[in-house]
Structure 1
Amino acid sequence: MAITAHDIETMIRETFPDAMIRVQGDDGAHFAAEVIDESFRGQNRVQQQRAVYAALKGKMDGAQGELHALALTTKAPG
């Protein structure tokens, strides 16, 4: 079963319940996500993105991952 933008948002929201999350994409494999969360304050972009990838619980891991591409933008609120 293909993963959906809603599935991705739900997984991210479990780790970042108060974040502003926007996920786009409709081909079941390639998506773009923006995650804005206070917990990112003081972290560099790599740390922020690693936290989001961890929230995806292995859905991007290896050739068998359900999610093949995720263009990710992360930041603390302005």
Structure 2
Amino acid sequence: MISPQQVEAMIKAELPDAQVEVQDLTGGGDHYQVTVVSSQFEGKRLVQQHQLVYGALNEAMSSEAIHALALKTLTPQ
């Protein structure tokens, strides 16, 4: 199990300027809804933005600590 705070910390480690909101959808610590706002997404397609976040969470997702992730990415504008 991984906490919302850990998910947020992992994302911020890769995207230091990010504003991150994490919601545990099931209370079990393995299904999350995450909203990430970062200037690093500017000029990138949606799939590229998501790849940045998935890269930050790769270890947790590959170890199945996170089973499901609903992701919303935005630029500051």
Same structural fold, with TM-score higher than 0.5 when normalized by the shorter chain: yes
Structure 1 consecutive aligned stretches of length 4 or more whose deviation exceeds 2 Å: none
Match of 1:73 in 2: 72
With normalisation by structure 1, the TM-score equals 0.89
Secondary structure of the residue that 2:60 maps to in structure 1? Answer: coil
Matches within 5 A, 1:1-78: 2-25=1-24, 26-61=27-62, 64-78=63-77
Q: d(CA) in 1 for partners of 2:58 and 2:51?
A: 11
Q: d(CA) in 1 for partners of 2:41 and 2:17?
A: 12
Percent of aligned positions that are identical: 39
Which amino acid in 1 is paired with 2:60? K
What runs of 5+ residues in structure 1 fail to find an aligned partner? none
Q: d(CA) in 1 for partners of 2:17 and 2:33?
A: 19
Q: d(CA) in 2 for partners of 1:76 and 1:47?
A: 13
Kindly indicate which of the two structures has a greater share of residues assigned to helix.
Answer: 2
Pairwise CA distance, 1:65: 1.2
Secondary structure of the residue that 1:66 maps to in structure 2? Answer: coil
Which amino acid in 2 is paired with 1:70? L
With normalisation by structure 2, the TM-score equals 0.90
Q: d(CA) in 2 for partners of 1:44 and 1:72?
A: 14
Q: How many residues align?
A: 75
